[in-house]
A and B are shown apart, each in its own frame.
Chain A
Amino acid sequence: MSLLALSNVSVRYGRLTAVRGVSFTLAEGEVLFVTGPNGAGKSSLLRAIAGVTPPAGGRIDFADHDITGRAPEDIARLGFSMVPEGREVFGSLTIEENLLVGTGMHASTRGWRARAASELEAVYATFPVLKERRHSQAGLLSGGQQQMLVIGRALMTTPRLVAIDEPSLGLAPNVTDQVYERLIALRAERRLTLLIVEQSSTRAMMVGGRMMLMRGGEIVLDGDARALGQSEAMHAAYFGYGEH
C-alpha cells in the first residue's frame, strides 16, 4: 500500500508548464530523493503535493485521501509536512514559539497543551541546540540551526511524511552532513517517510535510497540512488546529452 501516489500531475504558472504529467508512488518508510537541474520542476512538484500551488491537472492521494487541490493546512493535518525552500523560520518568534506553531490548531486547548509539551520534549531530545536557545529569536540562529528548527517544526505536526526542499541550500558541507545525520536517525526512530529535493545527486548517492531525476518538468529516471549515480544514463539525462 503506497502512502503517496501521484497520477499524471501537472503544474502551471499562467502559460508556463512547470510539471508535465508526473506519476509515481511512494511507500511508507521509503526515502526518495528528487534531483535535477535548476528549473526542472522539483520545487513546483513539492508545492503541488503540499497544496501550496494547486495542481493544474492529475490526482494526488496521500494516506488514503484524495488531496488534489486541498488547502495546505488540511494536507498538513493528514500527516504531510513540508519544509519549504530557504528555511522559512518565523524570525521574530522565539524558537519555542516556532515549534509550537507546528502543533496545529485542531486539537482542543487541553489536548493541545499536552501534545505540545510531549512533542517539544521529543524535538529537543533530537536537537539539543534548540533547547539551549529555546527563548531566543529564531531569526538570530545560524543557517544550520535554522534548518534544524524547520525540521523540528515539521516534526511537531507528528507527520508520516516529511518533504524537504533543498535542505543543503546555503549550508557548509559539514553542516549539511549534520542535518542529514539527524534526518536519517529520525527516519529510523519515527518510521518516517522522506521526500527530499536536492539539486545535486551526490547527496542521494551518499545517503542511499530511491532517486528520481527530473528534467523539463518530467521524470526521466527513477531507481536506486547508488546504482543510478554510477550509470551513464544519469549524466546523460542530467545534462541532456543526445536529445537533439
Chain B
Amino acid sequence: MARASILRRTIATPLILSALLLGFALIAWASGSRPFNQTVIDIFLQVILVVGLYTFIGNSGVISFGHIAFACLGGYVAAWTTIKPMMKGIAMPGLPDWLMQMEIPYWAAALAGGAFAAFWALVFGAVLMRLSGIAASIATFAMLAMVNAIYSNWSSVTAATSSVVGIPIVRSIWPYLIAAILAVFVAWAFSVSRFGLALRAAREEPTAAAASGVNIPRVRLIAFVISGAIMGAGGALYAHSIGIVTPDTFYLGLTFTTLSMLVVGGMGSLSGAVLGVLILSSLIQVLRWLEAGVQVGTGTFALPGGVQEIALGAVMILILMFRPAGIMGNSELTGRRARAEKPGEPGHA
C-alpha cells in the first residue's frame, strides 16, 4: 500500500528524535541535580512549543508570529482548572462557578489547554488562513497582540498583569518527556498524512497544488488547529513547570526564542525543530552560567546581562546568512545515509 510505505520509510525520524529526548532525560535523572532537572524540563517544554510551531510553519511555509498566543490560552486553562478554589476566588473572582470549583490533575489540564487552544485556532484560522505570505504572518502577530491585550486587562478572569500563583508544580521530568515525544509523533503523523502532503505541496507550488485538487485554506486550517492544540498543551505544562502565569510569560520573549530555535534548526524539518531546541537551549544554558559568573582563579568572570538575547540574535543572523534553510534544511534524520541532495538549496518558506 502506498501510504503504508510512506509510514514505514519515515517512522525512523520520530523514533530517533524520541531516543534523543530520552537520552537527555536519562542524563538528568542520573545526575540527580535539581537545577539540571529543571533545565531539561525547560528543554522539553521548548521542544513541545517549537514542534507545535513547525507543524504549521514547516508544512505551510507561512511564518506565524502568533502561535505563542495559543500557549497563553493553554497556560491560563491550567490556572483556571488546577488552582485551589479558595485561591482562585481571591485572584480571579470573575470565573464562573463550575470553573471556580474545578480541580483537575495536571495532565487533564494539559489536554483541556490543548482543546481550548485548538478551538480558538479554528476560530482565528477560519479568517487568517485565507491570507498568504507576509499578510498572513502579520495577521498572526495581530492575533498575539489581541490575546495578550485581553489577558492583560480582563482582571476578574485572568488577574490582568499580576502573576497568577498556586498552580500545582510538577517537578518530575517524565511527564514532560512523554508530552514532548507525543508532540513529535503527532507532528510527524500530520506531515506524512494526506493533508500534510497536500500542505507541503501547496507550500512549494500553490497553483499546481490547487490544480491537483488541494483546497489550500482548508489544509492550512487543519495544520493551524493541530499546531494550536500542541501549543496549548505545551502552554499548560509550562504553567505547571513554574507554578505561575502572567500574560507576558507568553509574549514577545517566548515568541522570539521559539522562532529562533525553529529557524536555526530548519523550518521545513521536524528533526530541525527538535535539534534547534537542543542546540540553542544548550547555548542559552552556557550563557546563563557565564552571566551568573564563573570562578576564574581568584576573581569571578561574568558576562553582562542581556548577552543571552544578543547571542541568540547573532546565531540566528549567522544561520540566515550562511544556511538560510537552517541546520537540517528540508531533510530529516532517517538513520540511513542521506540521499543525494542538492547542496544548499534554499527553503521554500
Contact = CB atoms under 8 A, between A and B. Distances in A.
A93 B212 contact: no
Interface stretch (A15-23, A29-37, A83-91, A233-241): A83-91
B212 A96 contact: no
A93 B211 contact: no
B207 A88 contact: yes
Chain B residues touching A, range: 20 to 34
B345 A112 contact: no
A88 B208 contact: yes
Given A93-B197, A120-B2, A73 B342 contact: no
B215 interface: yes
B205 A90 contact: yes
B265 interface: no
B200 A72 contact: no
Contact of B210 (A71, A106, A156): A71
B219 interface: yes
A109 B4 CA distance: 12
Given A112-B194, A113-B2, A140-B340, A81 B211 contact: yes
Interface residues of A, number: 44
Contact of B2 (A52, A88, A116, A154): A116
A100 interface: yes
Given A73-B215, A100-B197, A102-B212, 15 more contacts: A76-B213, A81-B211, A83-B211, A84-B208, A88-B204, A88-B208, A90-B201, A93-B201, A96-B2, A96-B6, A105-B198, A113-B2, A113-B3, A140-B342, A150-B208
Interface of A: 50-52, 71-73, 76-77, 81-84, 88-93, 96-98, 100-106, 109, 112-113, 116-117, 120, 135-137, 139-140, 150, 153-154, 156-157
11 contacts: A73-B210, A73-B216, A88-B205, A88-B208, A90-B200, A90-B208, A92-B268, A104-B213, A105-B195, A137-B341, A153-B212
